[in-house]
Amino acid sequence: MGMLNKKSIKDIDVAGKKAMVRVDFNVPLDADLKVTDDSRILGAVPTIRYLVESKAAVILISHLGRPKGGFDAKLSLKPAAARLSDLMKVRVSIASDVIGPDAKEKAASLKPGQIMMLENVRFHKEEEENDPAFAKELASMADVFVNDAFGTAHRAHASTAGIAEFLPSVCGMLIQKELSFMGKALSSPEKPFVAILGGAKVSDKIGVIENLLGKVDTLIIGGGMAYTFLKAKGYAIGNSICEDDKLGLARKIMDKAESNGVNLLLPVGSIIGKEFKADTENKYVPSDAMPDGWIGMDIGNVTIEQYTHEIRRAKTIVWNGPMGVFEFPNFAKGTKEIARAVAESGAVSIVGGGDSVAAVEQMGFAGRISHISTGGGASLEFLEGKELPGIACLKDNRGKIIAGNWKMNKLPGEAAAYVRELAPKVEGAGTETVVIVPYVCIPEVVEAAKGTSVKVGAQNVHYEEKGAYTGEVSAQMLLAAGVEYALIGHSERREYFGETDGYVNRKALAALKAGLKPIVCVGESLEQRELGVMPEILRYQVKRALQGVTADWLGTLVIAYEPIWAIGTGKTATAAQANEACSIIRKAVKELYGVEEGGMVRIQYGGSVTAANAGELFGMPDIDGGLVGGASLKSDEFARIVKFE
């Protein structure tokens, strides 16, 4: 989950700053050094345009090809700069070097709204060596680093990772989109989830297959790698490509798929060729009738029909790799028909890999695919669950916080036993876990939570430090008891005890001044939602609750959105509705404190969170966790929520 939680250019103030942006302009050039495919340049335009419009000075950095060492005019980025200039309709200057005097002079004189590009960063061998001194020289020209080159994010190079040691570092819109689509597919996909994997070798996709087997409902195998699986099942495969040293692994994968309840599909028939040539003699055979000496080149029509049937049922699809020898027209039908099925599925669809992307583009389906990934090797490593250095180095965004509000439940002994059960289940979850317990349970719960990652919260706090307030407890008392969080303004206290926005504000200020972390609740009623005044209500509640709260306290403050209309009414907020409300709250905070400071505040969703909906809710961009009620009373279910299972 750590890689998904990164700050973007929209989370920081870039006005008046020099932003060094790592882009992937490794584009094909013709003999006249003209760009023949500008899709990678087009992909970076939204980030560049946003920075320009936000009054940043933009310094672009990229590689092109594989220079042998030193300057090579054929691998200059001048054609890319010219093409970007045409697309942006502004001048894009290019330095004659990377960290030399021309680059530094141009960078120093660059004004807000202007764009320049450094020469091919791989003209320096120190780039691929991730040399710290070289990275520091790059960083010296800018105030902030933006990585928007997903295609190189799996490389620990100076311009992708090393530079982040010397500058505040965030992601651009392209990487943010990659993380959003692929991250959600891996963490909380809408079911049924179908993965389609092709290509020549099983060894290229081992990590991906093993990672996906615990997530998908159906795994479709095509391309040359299918013949390793077919041979492992005992079928003759003629002269088809096969990794004999991976036959045992293929059997283990099939066994694991069966034990996990995953529907693993292999070709039931192939289009085969006499030789590995575009114009070779070809014919169709069932998978159990492959003749000696022939080569499997594509999936057949029956297999296309079976695969298409599964794809049509899907709600989430990830596709990486062709179904056959796509570069030969006689053996491209399988890949093209799978492209058609994915495009027509209506599912959230993610396509990566050169031939898969080429197929959807050639068929004119690109506009019907939810997301086309820009990173070949990076996409595969992301699907494997590996950490990508070019993303891991970026600043983390708001961490997730999931708090269980027990309300008036559990006696002290029960509460302590619960925490001892919960702690090992949530260890290493990467999520801040809080139990908000009745006052009488605090001493035993605090003791049980010692040495664990579980934190303790109280269900209320008074705004005075001491005095004649029968039945109340101050922030100082809670801190002395070992409490870290206090729940303030919960809907039940507003309804049953008449707590007003003014009281909520006074309590929040008292907690913050004492060093207690408040979880401040806001939310609209059913009547307010139906009247269409939800945005105004939330904005008012937020601004009133935070009156007098300084920006220094924002890092410890949590806001919980409670859709009061969904509590006890039988109505449920969708993930989109929950995110809309949390987005309104975040905008209100940013209006008060600015973009960067306002982006620090964590916002929870607090309306009927369960293990079944946690993944979808917490995968939304403006939801930073949950305030969980009844589902937090059982340690097993609460642990599943904390881990988004």
Token pair 């507003």 is found at 494
Residues classed as catalytic: 490, 562
What lies within 8 Å, CB to CB, of 218 at 6+ separation is 192, 193, 194, 195, 262, 263, 264, 265, 310, 314
Local structure of residue 333 (DSSP, 8 states): H
The whole-number pLDDT of residue 640 equals 93
| CA–CA separation, 326 and 296 (whole Å) | 12
pLDDT tens digits, residue range 68-86? Answer: 878 999 999 999 999 999 9
- Tell me what the mean pLDDT of segment 607-623 comes to: 85
The whole-number pLDDT of residue 224 equals 94
The strand pair at 269-273 and 144-147 is best described as unpaired
Residue 481: both structure tokens together: 């008891």
| CA–CA separation, 471 and 461 (whole Å) | 11
Confidence of residue 567 (pLDDT cuts 50, 70, 90): low
Local structure of residue 550 (DSSP, 8 states): -
Please list the residue range(s) of the chain that carry CATH number 3.40.50.1260.
2-175, 189-388
pLDDT at 108 over 70: yes
pLDDT at 2 over 60: no
Q: How many CB atoms lie within 10 A of CB 201?
A: 16
Q: Return the H-helix or E-strand segment holding 186.
A: helix 173-187
pLDDT tens digits, residue range 9-64? Answer: 988 889 999 999 999 999 999 999 999 989 899 999 999 999 999 999 999 999 99
260-282 in b/e form (b: 16+ CB < 10 A) is eebebbbbbbbbbbeeeeeebeb
> Measured at the alpha carbon of residue 285, what is the angle toward residues 279 and 289, in degrees to the nearest 5?
130
pLDDT tens digits, residue range 282-321? Answer: 999 999 999 999 999 999 999 999 999 999 999 999 999 9
The whole-number pLDDT of residue 1 equals 42
Question: What would the CATH number be for the domain defined by 401-642?
Answer: 3.20.20.70
Phi/psi for 398 (5° steps) reads -60, 130
Confidence of residue 119 (pLDDT cuts 50, 70, 90): very high
Fold of the CATH domain 2-175: Rossmann fold (3.40.50)
581-603 in b/e form (b: 16+ CB < 10 A) is bbbbbbbbbbebbebbbbbbbbb
Q: Fill in the amino acid letter for 208.
A: V
The strand pair at 269-273 and 282-286 is best described as antiparallel
- Tell me what the mean pLDDT of segment 534-552 comes to: 94
pLDDT at 572 over 90: no
Please list the residue range(s) of the chain that carry CATH number 3.20.20.70.
401-642
Q: How many CB atoms lie within 10 A of CB 255?
A: 11
| CA–CA separation, 221 and 445 (whole Å) | 50
Confidence of residue 4 (pLDDT cuts 50, 70, 90): low
Q: Return the H-helix or E-strand segment holding 534.
A: helix 534-545
Phi/psi for 608 (5° steps) reads 55, 55
Question: What would the CATH number be for the domain defined by 189-388?
Answer: 3.40.50.1260
- Tell me what the mean pLDDT of segment 362-378 comes to: 87
Confidence of residue 3 (pLDDT cuts 50, 70, 90): low
User: Cα–Cα distances in Å, from 616 out to 183, 184, 602?
Assistant: 11, 8, 17
The whole-number pLDDT of residue 569 equals 62
pLDDT mean across residues, the chain: 92
- Please, is 214 exposed, middle or buried when counting C-beta atoms within 10 Å of its C-beta (0-12, 13-18, 19+)? exposed
Distance of CA 241 to the CA centre of its chain: 35
The answer to whether the beta carbons of residues 603 and 377 sit under 8 Å apart is no
Confidence of residue 568 (pLDDT cuts 50, 70, 90): low
| CA–CA separation, 610 and 630 (whole Å) | 9
- Tell me what the mean pLDDT of segment 372-393 comes to: 85
Confidence of residue 158 (pLDDT cuts 50, 70, 90): very high
The whole-number pLDDT of residue 399 equals 81
Alpha-helix runs per DSSP H in 188-291: 206-212, 226-232, 247-259
Helix (H, G, I), strand (E, B) or coil at 139: helix
pLDDT tens digits, residue range 450-494? Answer: 989 999 999 999 999 999 999 999 999 999 999 999 999 999 999
Alpha-helix runs per DSSP H in 427-559: 442-449, 475-480, 491-497, 501-514, 526-530, 534-545
Express as a percent the part of the chain with pLDDT over 90: 75
The answer to whether the beta carbons of residues 325 and 297 sit under 8 Å apart is yes
Phi/psi for 420 (5° steps) reads -65, -35
Please report, to the nearest 10 degrees, the dihedral formed by the alpha carbons of residues 344, 349, 353, 354 taken in order: 40
Phi-psi region of 491 (alpha: psi -120 to 50; beta: other; left: phi over 0): alpha
- Tell me what the mean pLDDT of segment 182-211 comes to: 87
- Tell me what the mean pLDDT of segment 576-580 comes to: 88
The answer to whether the beta carbons of residues 402 and 431 sit under 8 Å apart is yes
User: Cα–Cα distances in Å, from 526 out to 27, 571, 609?
Assistant: 54, 10, 18
